[in-house]
Amino acid sequence: MPTVLRLGPYRFFFYSRENAEPPHIHVERDENYGKFWLDPIALAANRGFRAHELTQLRTIVTQNQELLRERWNEFFSN
């Protein structure tokens, strides 16, 4: 599970065997979990995050979209 970004209590990562899916990023905090598609940015899954936190996470993903896609491409091009 390569960690791509840590911001405050959030860890953004992807699983190493998910290259068959479109680019996306997972995020966790404590027991909460979310998944965002990267192009276009959209919530794919949520377990435990409240609406206001999902809005904040979407903003973080949007602000870091280029970095997240770059890391995805670097990892899965090998």
Q: Please state, in angstroms and rounded to a whole number, the distance separating the CA atoms of residues 73 and 50.
A: 30
The helix (run of H) or strand (run of E) holding residue 63 is: helix 51-63
Task: State what percent of residues in the chain have pLDDT above 70.
Answer: 99
Model pLDDT, residue 78: 65
Confidence of residue 59 (pLDDT cuts 50, 70, 90): very high
Task: Report the domain count for the chain.
Answer: 1
Query: Per-residue pLDDT tens for 22-47?
Result: 999 999 999 999 999 999 999 999 99
For the chain, the residue count is 78
Residues spanned by the domain of 62: 3-76
C-beta contacts of 48-53 below 8 A and 24+ residues apart: none
Its pTM stands at: 0.93
